[in-house]
Amino acid sequence: MTGSRQTNERMDLLADVAEMYFLDGKNQAQIAKKVGVTRSMVSRMLTDARRLGIVEININRRLESDRALENELTRRFKLQRAFVLTERERTNERLLRDLGRAGAYMLTKFLAPNEILGLAWGTAIAATVEALEPERPLPLKVVQLVGALGARSKEYDPNALVQRVVQKTGGEGFYLNAPFFVQDQETVRALLASSSLRETFAMVPKCDVVLLGIGSTDPKYSSYYRAGYVTLQVLNSLRKAGAVGDVCGRHFDLSGNSVDVEFHRYIVGADKEALMPVPIRLAVAGGVGKARPILGALRGKWANVLVTDSYAAHQVLELDEQV
């Protein structure tokens, strides 16, 4: 009990020191005098406060976009809109976070109360959902586009992402209570015949906006492979069939055409036929390794609004001229 009380007192002291430094604008010497410790100890306490999560620092850097690249992407692929992050040295984590911020910015441009939003999955989608902060209640119907991926990827599992958007907007969720990948076709048919899944799938073409990720079949960048949902053998079979990327688990070649692969017979998710009637198909994808998947997605009209970065945008445009 004594240890617990001492821990609580220590945490309160760290919070007091952090408030004096970050909120009250006091310097470390002033805080040291106030608390009765040395200046170096105050410095260590501030470090501990960050390490323990008492202090969380958010840097709201202004998002800058490359208008020239946006215009060229929009013109060449007949997009409705594009947002291209300007070229700046970023770690993978920072790029993902900035893509999410840009994705959330674009998403709010197209959403209105009582509309229907379809939600896919993936790290870029999770980053977009994390950055989404509606200024006012935005009651939406939020539709899950692909089945659940399981406990290994809770931070970007489709069920969890739908729940998060519902919490942030005050909306209502419509779920696919089924796994994304199923071991046999008979089970897939049984699941698709269930009334709850039929109801959710029937809402997909009625969506006003869908938020999509663009996956890769390159083992270095494939979320399915890296998360353990497909084997290297399956991934190689997809590549052998010409697949360069996917949207909602539906794979396409570099021209954007759907590829006929066995993999599609074992998944629970919206297909292209269901997605195409949606007026706003917003895809968020970028970084090294995504040029070919993005190009295929744009050529095939899987997306008509794109959020990406300048490096990927340049690669997409160059590749489009070459192939």
pLDDT tens readout for residues 9-50 = 888 899 999 999 988 888 999 999 999 999 999 999 999 998
- Return the H-helix or E-strand segment holding 193: helix 185-193
User: Of all residues in the chain, what percent are helix, strand and coil, respectively (each to 5)?
Assistant: 50, 15, 35
| Whole-prediction pTM | 0.81
**Every domain of the chain and the residues it spans:** 2-51, 67-322
What CATH topology corresponds to 2-51?
Arc Repressor Mutant, subunit A (1.10.10)
**Statement: 67-322 belongs to CATH 3.40.50.1360:** yes
Kindly report the backbone phi and psi dihedral angles of residue 213, in degrees, each rounded to the nearest multiple of 5, phi listed first: -100, 165
Closest by CA position to 211, among listed 314, 110, 77, 134: 110
Average pLDDT, the chain: 91
pLDDT tens readout for residues 123-148 = 999 999 999 998 888 899 999 999 98
Residue owning tokens 């970007």: 156
| Domains 2-51 and 67-322 fall in the same CATH topology | no
Q: Are 291 and 312 in contact (CB under 8 A)?
A: yes
| Diameter of the chain measured on Cα atoms | 73
pLDDT tens readout for residues 236-294 = 999 999 999 999 999 999 999 999 999 999 999 999 999 999 999 999 999 988 999 99
Give pLDDT, residue 2: 61
Give pLDDT, residue 1: 46
Parallel, antiparallel, or unpaired for β 250-252 and 280-284?
Answer: unpaired
Alpha carbons within 13 A on the beta-carbon side of 12: 6
Q: How far apart are CA 161 and CA 125, in angstroms?
A: 8
Closest by CA position to 289, among listed 118, 83, 96: 96
